Structure formats: structure tokens, C-alpha cells
Structure 1
Amino acid sequence: MLMSIVAAAANSSATATYMKYASQLTGRDKACRFTQYFARLLAYLVTRRISLQGTKPSASALDWLSTLTKIQGTMSTTRKILRSGKFIDFFHLLVRSLHQGGGDEVERLLNTGHKLGMFVFMLADSVGILHSALGLVRLRDPQKVTRVAMRGWWLALVCQLMAGAYQLRALVIREADLNRVRRHLEKDADVMADRECVVEERAVMVKKRAAVRQVVAAALDLTIPTAGLGLLGLNEGVVALAGTITSLMGVQDILCSK
């Protein structure tokens, strides 16, 4: 009986999905990212509750806050180690983007800006982890390296947000054009052309949803480096909540892509 239950659990679709998800570096990173920002959100809520009470916090509350802070720091360090050296990938993509011709000039420029920002972010991030976690490099001003990484990430997200908005605008215009064409075809009773128009409308709708999702994710993630650089006075709860939401979106993207 017990063996049959174990065998059924091992061969279940949930176990197969988990194994496929966990086998990917991106999947493990998204899981760590969710844990990091969710712990950060809980730590903010605990801290706020303590401050609202106006009394000396209990030992259990302080222990709970210390545990959440440790989880947040551990997950952050783990993610940095997992993506160390990834700046080489973005350097390769940046060079390809610079030499790529044709296509929309605005999209190519924003794509290049995104790759440049991610290259700077990953490079500074890798240098920082060599100093903080591994101790292989001694930096005179580690905070300066962190700020450089934040500026690179901020640039990448701004370009990603603008690219998504630009693509969304083009899709909205295309959708309006297709609607006009369909009305004209319905008057002429052109069934074949109308079917082709319907197929293209569905394709535009799928791209439109992806563009909206990109804009939302980039806008939410943008709060993190923006707050880190002190460009906006966002509190810790807003930043942690934004990171938690985009982490779940990333997990969903990976699961839906299988």
C-alpha cells in the first residue's frame, strides 16, 4: 500500500513538472527570487507591526524578523552566485545587437540599450560577489559597485518598458487596421479573406497580451532599482511586493512554456 502511494507520487504529473522546472537554472533562480522578495515582504510587515505596537518587541517577533532577514540575504547571495559570469552572455547579445541590421530602428535601439544595461548589471554584480561572498577581490568602495549594478539594471528595465509600450502601440494600430479590413470584407462577402483576417487578429491578440505582460513586469521590477538608487521615495513594502509579484509571473512563464 505504502509503496503504491510512493510510486504514484513519484510518477505524478506534479512531480514531473517540478523536476522539469527545477532542472533549469532559470527555474531555480525564479524560485529563489520569490523566496527572497516574499521574505523581504514578510520582514517589512513584521517590522511595521512592531513599530505600530509602540512597545518593546517580544523575543519571538525579533527571532522571526532575524530569520526572515537571513533568508532574504541567503537567497540574494545564492542568486548572485548562480548568475555569476552571465555578463558574458549579455556581452555576446550586445555585440550581436550592435551588428544587427534591418528591422525597426526604435526596437533595435531599445533592445541594444536593454542588453547594455544587463551587461553592466551582471558584470558589476559578478565583481561584487567576488568581494562579498568569496573574498577573492578587495574593493575600496563596494557600495559604488552596487550602485553601478543598480544603474545598469535600471537602464535595462527602462528600455524593456519602452520597448513593450512601443510594441503595444504598434499592435493596437494593427488591430484597428484589421478591424477596418474585416468590416470591408464582410460587406463584400469575401469568406476566405475574412478567415485569414481572423487568424491574423488572433495572432495580434496573443502578441498584445505578451506586450502588456512585459510592460507590467518591467514597470513593477523598475521600482526595485529606482528605490535602491533613491530616485523615488518608495517604502520597503512596495518594493518587496513588486518583486514578489514579478517572481510569480516569472515562475508562471516557465511553467506555461513547457
Structure 2
Amino acid sequence: MVLDTVVYHPTLLKLIKYLDATAGREKSLRLIQYLVRFLSFQVKQAGYPLALFQLLKNLQNQAAFIRKALRFLKPLNHLQDAAKAFDNKLSDSILRHSIVLKNIAYIGYLSLDSLAWFKILGLVSTKTFSKAPKYANWFWFAGLLAGLVNDLRKITITNSQISSISNVEGNEKSQDKMKAVQVENYKATRKLVWDSLDFFVVLNNLGFLRNSEGAIGLAGTITSVLGVQDVWGATKI
């Protein structure tokens, strides 16, 4: 009976379903990758044995390698999302175009990421398109920039809606609408923080900023936690 209670516990069932999905595994590996990146910097700074530092760096590299495999063909998802956003003529113009640009940029970013995976596997010469990592980061930069525009636009729209609802005489319907808009405003603000931290990472990757590995690892860890939260919340049992 005790075993049944554990085996069929809703949290365990949800964890199994979460890890059974590619998105769940990829987000978890991203969390490991950046957390280990942060920890390896702390270990090195604290003067711990070099072997421990190397172990953590190897774990970071392995997590990054597996993530590349899990993201293979993911550009197709972004191609579909871009097409859907482009066809939605009724949406706000800035939101629509920023979503399209964001997804097109991510198609480039993930395609070049797959090329890096092929190189590691030995399917493509390491000399082929040697600047691929740099261009991949530029695509990520463009995608995040479009995402930031989208976030700010959503915040502007929801703030305007909140002001309009506040000026209306309170009733149950308006209160429900206010709660819904406030939720959307929170989501947009949360996404703005998320994209800003990832933007910090890519600015360091491109050399515009020169922060420590610890700072980059911490920023990536925070955004990874946000990603895990989203996938976990979307997992239904």
C-alpha cells in the first residue's frame, strides 16, 4: 500500500510525464548546463582541486551536446509558429511582426546549432563554416531583440487595458477581466526579465560584454528555471 501511494502519487506521475516529453528533458539539461557552468566558476575561484573543475566542465559539455540532439529539427516548430503569426492579420501589428522575426531568427540559430552537432558527431568537417557559432549567436541576438520588443508591447497594451478597466464602475465581469489582464501583464513582465537575462548571456557570447563565467552561468540558470517552470506547468496528468 505504501509503495502504491508513492508510485501513483500525482507529483511522481507528473514528473514521469514531464521527463517523457522532449521539452522537459531539454529544459532540464539546460538547467544542468548553466548551473554547472556557474558552479565550475565558483569551484575554480575557491581553489578546489582541478579534477573537480574538469568534472564539472565535462558535465557542462555533455549536457550541451545532448541538448543539440534533442533540438534537432526544432526549426520546423519555429517555421510553423512564424507562418501562424504572419497569417494572423487581426493581431496587433507590432506583436505580429516581432513574433514572425523572432521565429525566423530562431530558425537560423537552431539550424546552425544542428550544424555544430553534426561537426561533433564527425558527420561534417570541423573546417566547414568555421564561423557558424558566431552567426548562431547573432541569430539568437536577433531573436531575443524581437522578443524584447514583443514583451514591451504586451506590457504597454496590458497596462493600457488595466487603466481602462480601472475607470469603469466595478462589477463582477470587470473584476474578472481585470484579473485576466493582470495575469497577462505578469506573464509579459516575467518574459521581459527572462529575455533580458538571455540577452545578457548572448551579449557576452558576442563579446559586447565581458562578464565572468559565474555571472553568465547564473543568468542562464535563472532563465532555465523559468523554462522548467513553464514546461512543468503545462504538463497535464
Q: TM-score, normalised by structure 1?
A: 0.86
Find the counterpart in structure 1 of residue 13 from structure 2. 16
Q: Distance in 2 between matches of 1:256 and 1:95?
A: 26
Mean CA deviation greater in 224-233 or 89-98: 89-98
Query: Residue 143 and residue 40 in structure 1: after superposition, are their counterparts in 2 closer, same or farther (change >3 A)?
Result: farther
Query: Residue 119 and residue 206 in structure 1: after superposition, are their counterparts in 2 closer, same or farther (change >3 A)?
Result: same
Q: Is the 8 A contact 1:93 1:115 kept in 2?
A: yes
Find the counterpart in structure 2 of residue 176 from structure 1. 163
Deviation by residue 1:73-129 (Cα, 9 ceiling, x = unmatched): 000000001101212222233344444423211111111110111001011111111
Deviation by residue 1:49-80 (Cα, 9 ceiling, x = unmatched): 22xxxxxxx6xx11110110000000000000
Find the counterpart in structure 1 of residue 131 from structure 2. 144
Find the counterpart in structure 2 of residue 221 from structure 1. 198
Q: How far does residue 248 in structure 1 lie from its aligned partner after superposition?
A: 1.0
Q: Is the 8 A contact 2:44 2:50 kept in 1?
A: no
- Listed as ranges, the gaps of 5+ residues in structure 1 are 51-57, 187-193
Q: Is the 8 A contact 2:106 2:140 kept in 1?
A: yes
Query: Residue 8 and residue 196 in structure 1: after superposition, are their counterparts in 2 closer, same or farther (change >3 A)?
Result: closer
Q: Distance in 2 between matches of 1:17 and 1:137?
A: 39
Deviation by residue 1:143-183 (Cα, 9 ceiling, x = unmatched): 410111111111111111111111101111111111112xx
Q: TM-score, normalised by structure 2?
A: 0.93
Q: Distance in 1 between matches of 2:79 and 2:211?
A: 32
Aligned residues: 235
Find the counterpart in structure 2 of residue 66 from structure 1. 54
Aligned-pair Cα RMSD in Å: 1.6
- Listed as ranges, the gaps of 5+ residues in structure 2 are none
**Higher relative contact order, chain-length normalized (CA < 8 Å, sep 6+):** 2
Q: Is the 8 A contact 1:44 1:237 kept in 2?
A: yes
Report the 3-state secondary structure (helix = DSSP H, G, I; strand = E; otherwise coil) of the residue aligned with 1:47. Answer: helix
Q: Is the 8 A contact 1:128 1:142 kept in 2?
A: no
Q: Is the 8 A contact 1:38 1:241 kept in 2?
A: yes
Asked if 1:248 corresponds to 2:235, the answer is no
Q: How far does residue 140 in structure 1 lie from its aligned partner after superposition?
A: 2.3
Matches within 5 A, 1:112-127: 112-127=100-115
Q: Distance in 2 between matches of 1:89 and 1:124?
A: 15
Q: How far does residue 141 in structure 1 lie from its aligned partner after superposition?
A: 5.2
Larger gyration radius, structure 1 or structure 2: 1
Mean CA deviation greater in 152-161 or 64-73: 152-161
